[in-house]
Amino acid sequence: MAKRILITGPECSGKTTLATELARFYGTLWVPEYARRYLNNIGRPYEEHDLLVIARNQVKEEKEAADSGAPFIILDTSLLVIKIWSEYKYGRVDPWIQEQWESAEYDVILLCKPDIEWEFDPLRESPQFRDQLYQAYKKYLNDGLRKHKVITGQANARLEKAVKYVQNTLMG
Task: For residue 33, give every residue at least 6 positions away whose Cβ sits within 8 Å of its Cβ, in sequence order, or none.
Answer: 15, 16, 58, 76, 77, 81
Q: 25-35 pLDDT, tens per residue?
A: 999 999 999 99
Q: Please give the Cα distance from 90 to 30 (Å, whole number).
A: 29
Residues 6+ apart with CB under 8 A from 157: none
Number of domains into which the chain is organized: 1
Query: For residue 97, what are the domain limits?
Result: 3-170
CB 15 within 8 A of CB 140: no
- What Rg do the C-alpha atoms of the chain give, in angstroms? 15
- What tens digit of pLDDT does each residue of 74-109 get? 999 999 999 999 999 999 999 999 999 999 999 999
Q: Is pTM, for the whole model, over 0.85?
A: yes
Q: How far apart are CA 83 and CA 55, in angstroms?
A: 9
pLDDT at residue 5 in the model = 97
Query: CA 67, 51, 123, 17: dihedral to nearest 10 degrees?
Result: -30
Q: Is the pLDDT of residue 1 over 90?
A: no
> What is the CATH classification number for the domain harbouring 8?
3.40.50.300
pLDDT of residue 122 exceeding 70, the answer is no
Question: pLDDT digit string (tens) for 143-152?
Answer: 988 999 999 9
Supply the pLDDT for residue 120: 59
